[in-house]
């Protein structure tokens, strides 16, 4: 019996050695990770959330018994195609710069008559209404160019605020977003870290979000992603739909403008 273990150990050691030769090993490892990512492209479970989103979009709900079919995501009531690629943007009716999530919540509360609590219930858990709806909305922008020029003064201000927040260091690890995301060709362990301060880096990253995260069995919206980055920086929970979170998105989407949206992506 022990022999099988020796045999298996030999396999393991062999594989370990082959990869151990520092620089060459790292390159080989990154190559294999690329292969892993490639294999996941075919069959993205985000399609399941998109189907749920379609159901929710056309389902009469709330005190008003209304569907979301007249929701205005910036291109006019009911105009879904390409809308996600132009968010966040300023909305005159609310007087605020809104991202896809906060705008969907506006529609759910104003059109359907849901309470804020009902509309955002379990927003951070797999299977939430927000997860399904954002997946649907983003999927309907697949192939559209991200276009967030931030010409409106409120939008321009949000870009500037987002940039400030991006560089704001605090906490027990002295981190800001910029700690991990302001240099090219960096990795944390083997995960690539996009340089979100550059057009190229922001485009590569933002074109993939929202994304199905295999480690979470869920599609993560951009707010979910950002609030978790702050958790990983060892901050307390940031408020969902808060201005600072939308401002960060505004800063990154502006940087990413011009990229073709390929969301929903599939990520670690």
Partner 1 sequence: MRRLAYTLLPRMLLPWTLLLGATAALPLPSSAGDVSAKAEDSFRKAFSTASPEQWATRLAQDEVNALCSKHRNQPPPEVAARIIELSKASIKLPEDGKLMGDWKEGEKLASIGTGGHIGRIQPDRAGTRQGGNCYACHAIAKQEIAAGNLGPSLTNYAKVRGTSPEAVRYVYAKIYNAQAFFPCSSMPRFGHNRWLTPKEIADAVAFLLDPESPVNK
Partner 2 sequence: MANPMKIRAKADGDVVEVKVLMSHIMETGQRKNQAGEPIPAHFIQMVSVTCKGRTVLSAQWGPAVSANPFLSFKFNGGHKGDKVKVTWVDNKGDSRSDEIVIA
Partner 3 sequence: MEQSRREFLTTTGGLLGLLLAAGFLRPQEVAAEEWNQAAFEIKKMDDLVKLLGGGAARESAEVTIVAPDIAENGAVVPVGVASKIDKTASIAILVEKNPNVLAATFAIPQGTLPEVQTRIKMAQTSNVFALVKADGKFYYAAKEIKITLGGCGG
Does 268 participate in binding partner 3 (rule CB under 8 A)?
yes
Give the pair of three-digit tokens for residue 239: 């408020």
Instruction: Say what angle helices 129-139 and 100-110 make with each other, to 10 degrees.
Output: 120
Q: Smallest distance, Å, CB 31 to partner 1?
A: 12
| 29 belongs to the binding site for partner 3 (CB under 8 A) | yes
Return d(Cα 182, Cα 251) in angstroms, integer: 13
> Which lies closer to partner 1 via its Cβ, residue 130 or residue 247?
247
26 binds partner 3 (CB under 8 A): no
Residue 62 and residue 65: Cα distance in Å, rounded?
A: 5
Within residues 116-145, the interface with partner 1 by CB under 8 A covers: 124
Structure tokens at 2: 């022990």
Residue 193, classified by CB atoms within 10 Å of its CB into exposed (0-12), middle (13-18) or buried (19+), is middle
Partner whose footprint covers residue 48, from partner 2, partner 3, partner 1, none (CB < 5 to 8 Å by kind): partner 2
Minimum gap (Å) between residue 223 Cβ and partner 2: 21
Nearest to 166 by CA among 233, 99, 259, 221: 233
Residue for token pair 């929970």: 237
Closest contact distance (angstroms) between CB of 69 and partner 3 is 34
Evaluate whether 19 touches 25 at the Cβ level (below 8 Å): yes
Question: Is 229 in the active site?
Answer: yes
When CB distances are held under 5 to 8 angstroms depending on the partner's kind, the choice from partner 1, partner 3, partner 2, none that residue 126 binds is partner 2
Helix, coil or strand: residue 267: strand
Under the criterion CB under 8 A, does residue 214 sit at the interface with partner 3? yes
Phi, psi at residue 178, to the nearest 5°?
Answer: -65, -25
Please give the residue ranges that form the binding site for partner 2 (CB under 8 A).
Answer: 42-43, 45, 47-48, 51-52, 126, 214, 217
Shortest distance (Å) from residue 123 CB to partner 3: 20
9 binds, among partner 3, partner 1, partner 2, none (CB under 5 to 8 A by kind): none
Catalytic center residues: 229
């Amino acid at each position: 019996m022990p022999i099988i273990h020796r045999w298996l150990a030999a396999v393991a050691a062999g594989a370990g050695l082959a990869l151990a030769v520092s620089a060459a090993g790292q390159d080989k490892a990154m190559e294999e990770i690329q292969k892993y990512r490639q294999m996941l492209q075919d069959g993205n479970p985000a399609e399941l959330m998109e189907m749920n989103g379609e159901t929710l979009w056309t389902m009469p709900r709330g005190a008003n018994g209304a569907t979301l079919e007249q929701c205005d995501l910036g291109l006019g009531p009911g105009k879904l195609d390409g809308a996600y690629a132009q968010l966040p943007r300023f909305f005159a009716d609310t007087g605020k710069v809104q991202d896809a999530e906060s705008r969907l919540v506006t529609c759910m509360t104003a059109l359907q008559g849901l309470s804020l609590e009902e509309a955002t219930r379990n927003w951070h858990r797999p299977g939430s209404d927000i997860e399904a709806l954002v997946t649907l909305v983003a999927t309907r922008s697949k192939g559209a160019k991200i276009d967030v020029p931030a010409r409106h003064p409120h939008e321009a201000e949000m870009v500037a605020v987002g940039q400030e927040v991006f560089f704001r260091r605090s906490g027990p690890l002295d981190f800001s977003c910029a700690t991990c995301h302001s240099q090219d060709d960096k990795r944390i362990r083997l995960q690539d870290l996009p340089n979100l301060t550059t057009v190229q880096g922001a485009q590569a990253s933002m074109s993939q979000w929202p994304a199905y995260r295999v480690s979470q069995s869920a599609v993560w919206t951009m707010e979910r992603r950002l609030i978790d980055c702050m958790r990983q920086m060892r901050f307390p929970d940031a408020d969902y739909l808060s201005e600072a979170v939308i401002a960060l998105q505004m800063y990154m989407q502006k940087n990413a403008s011009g990229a073709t949206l390929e969301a929903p992506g599939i990520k670690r």
